[in-house]
Amino acid sequence: MADTFRLTLAQANPVMGDLAGNANKVREVWAEAKAAQSDMVAFPEMFIVGYNAQDLILKSALQAAALAEIEQLAVDCAEGPVVAVGGPLVQDGALYNAYFILKGGKIAHTQLKHHLPNYTVFDEERLFAHGPMGGPYDVNGVRVGSPICEDAWFEDVPETMEETGAEILVVPNGSPYYRDKFDRRMNHMVARVIETELPLVYLNMVGGQDDQVFDGGSFVLNPGGQLATQLPVFDEAVAHVEFERTAAGWRCKDGPKALLPAGEEQDYRVCVEALRDYMGKTGFKKVLLGLSGGIDSALVATIAVDALGAENVRCVMLPSEYTSQESLDDAEDIAKRLGVHYDYVPIAEGRAAITNTLAPLFEGTEPGLTEENIQSRLRGLLLMALSNKFGEMLLTTGNKSEVAVGYATIYGDMAGGYNPIKDMYKTRVFETSRWRNNVHRDWMSGPEGEVIPVNIIDKPPSAELRPDQKDEDSLPPYDVLDAILFMLVDEDKSVADCVAAGYDRETVKRVEHLVYISEYKRFQSAPGARLSKKAFWLDRRYPIVNRFRDPS
Q: How confident is the model at residue 474 (pLDDT cuts 50, 70, 90)?
A: confident
Mention every residue, 6+ apart, whose C-beta is less than 8 A from residue 506.
none
**Distance of alpha carbon 509 from its chain centroid, rounded?**
31
Predicted local confidence at residue 263, as pLDDT: 85
* Edge-to-edge strands, sheet with 4-11: 106-112, 94-103, 82-91, 40-42, 4-11, 237-246, 249-252
Compute the Cα dihedral for 77, 83, 31, 38 and give only its sign: negative
Residues 153, 158: Cα–Cα separation, whole Å:
9
**pLDDT attached to residue 465:** 66
Rounding to the nearest 10 degrees, give the CA dihedral for residues 450, 454, 455, 459: 140
Q: How far apart are the first and last CA of the chain?
A: 68
Residue 442: pLDDT above 70?
yes
What is the phi/psi pair of residue 465, to 5°? Answer: -110, -5
For residue 459, the model assigns a pLDDT of 87
Mean pLDDT of 527-539: 95
β-bridge pairing 137-139 and 106-112: unpaired
With a pLDDT cut of 70, the percent of the chain lying above it is 99
Contact present, 455 and 500 (Cβ < 8 Å): no
Q: Average of pLDDT values for 121-138?
A: 95
Tell me the average pLDDT across 38-49.
Answer: 98
Contact by Cβ (8 Å): 538, 422 = no
Cβ pair 85, 50 in contact under 8 A? no
pLDDT for 463 beyond 70: no
- In this prediction, residues 494-503 reach a mean pLDDT of 97
> Residue 467: which pLDDT band, with cuts at 50, 70 and 90?
confident
Q: Is the pLDDT of residue 47 over 80?
A: yes
Share of residues in the chain with pLDDT > 90 (%): 93
Q: Given pLDDT bands bounded at 50, 70 and 90, which one contains residue 92?
A: very high
d(CA 538, CA 518): 16
* Residue-level pLDDT at 322: 86
pLDDT over 90 (residue 464): no
> What is the reported pTM?
0.95
Residue positions in the annotated binding site for L-glutamine?
119, 175, 181
Q: Between vectors from CA 547 to CA 544 and to CA 552, what angle results, nearest 5°?
A: 125
- In 3D space, the residue among 209, 422, 410, 394 whose CA is nearest the CA of residue 304 turns out to be 394
Give phi and psi for 328, each to the nearest 5: -60, -45
**170 vs 154: CA distance, rounded Å:** 15
Rounded (5°) CA angle 535-540-543: 140
Residue 545 has pLDDT above 90, yes or no: yes
CA angle, corner 275, sides to 178 and 435, nearest 5?
65
Does residue 466 carry a pLDDT above 70? no
Give me the pLDDT at residue 472, please: 72
Could you report the per-residue pLDDT of 258-310, keeping only the tens digit for each?
999 988 999 999 999 999 999 999 999 999 999 999 999 999 999 999 999 99
Say yes or no to pLDDT of 365 above 90: yes
pLDDT at 155 over 90: yes
Residue 520's pLDDT band, with cuts at 50, 70 and 90, is very high
**What whole-number distance in Å separates Cα of residue 95 and Cα of residue 91?**
6
Q: What is the pLDDT of residues 331-350, one digit of tens each?
A: 999 999 999 999 999 999 99
**Binding positions:** 119, 175, 181, 290-297, 373, 397, 402, 521
Query: How many CB atoms are located within 10 Å of the residue 546 CB?
Result: 10
Strand partners, 243: 5, 252
Catalytic residues: 45, 113, 149
Q: So what's the pLDDT on residue 311?
A: 98
pLDDT tens digits for 193-252? 999 999 999 999 999 999 999 999 999 999 999 999 999 999 999 999 999 999 989 999
Binding site listing for ATP: 290-297, 397
Where does 203-341 have alpha helices with state H?
263-282, 295-308, 325-338
pLDDT tens for each residue of 157-172: 999 999 999 999 999 9
Binding site per annotation, positions for deamido-NAD(+): 373, 402, 521
